[in-house]
Amino acid sequence: MFNIIQVGTGGTGGHVTHFLAPYIKTRHDTSYLLVDGDVVEEKNIARQNFTCTDVGKYKSQVIGERYNVSYITEFINEEMLINCLDTIQYNVILGCVDRVDVRLMIDRVLKLKKKTHHSVYIDGGNTNKNAQVVIYDYSIQKGIDITSYFEGVQDEDLKTASCSEMGDQTIQANMLSATYICNNAIYYLENKLRKKKKVFKNYKFIITPRIVSIS
Q: Residue 211 has what pLDDT?
A: 57
Compute the distance between CA of residue 68 and CA of residue 86 in angstroms, rounded to an integer.
Answer: 21
Any domain includes 213: no
User: How sure is the predictor about 30, in pLDDT bands with cuts at 50, 70 and 90?
Assistant: very high
Global pTM reads 0.90
- The rounded radius of gyration (Å) of the Cα atoms in the chain is 16
Q: Residue 163 has what pLDDT?
A: 44
pLDDT in tens, 151-188: 877 654 444 334 443 344 567 888 899 999 999 999 99
Any domain includes 41: yes
CA 212 to chain centre: 27
Q: Does residue 29 carry a pLDDT above 50?
A: yes
Number of separate domains in the chain: 1
For 106-128, what is the mean pLDDT?
94
Task: Name 109's bridge partners.
Answer: none
Q: Residue 207 has what pLDDT?
A: 86
Q: In this structure, are residues 86 and 117 in contact, taking their beta carbons and an 8 Å threshold?
A: yes
Q: In this structure, are residues 14 and 128 in contact, taking their beta carbons and an 8 Å threshold?
A: no
Among residues 102, 85, 72, 74, the alpha carbon closest in space to that of 164 is found at 102
Helix (H) or strand (E) segment spanning residue 31: strand 30-35
Compute the distance between CA of residue 40 and CA of residue 186 in angstroms, rounded to an integer.
Answer: 28
What is the extent of the structural domain holding 143?
2-207
CATH number for the domain that contains residue 67: 3.40.50.720
Any domain includes 133: yes
User: How sure is the predictor about 213, in pLDDT bands with cuts at 50, 70 and 90?
Assistant: low
Residues in the chain: 215
pLDDT in tens, 41-90: 999 998 899 999 999 999 999 999 999 999 999 999 999 999 999 999 99
| Residues in contact with 138: Cβ distance below 8 Å, sequence separation at least 6, in sequence order | 110, 111, 113, 114, 117, 118, 119, 120, 121
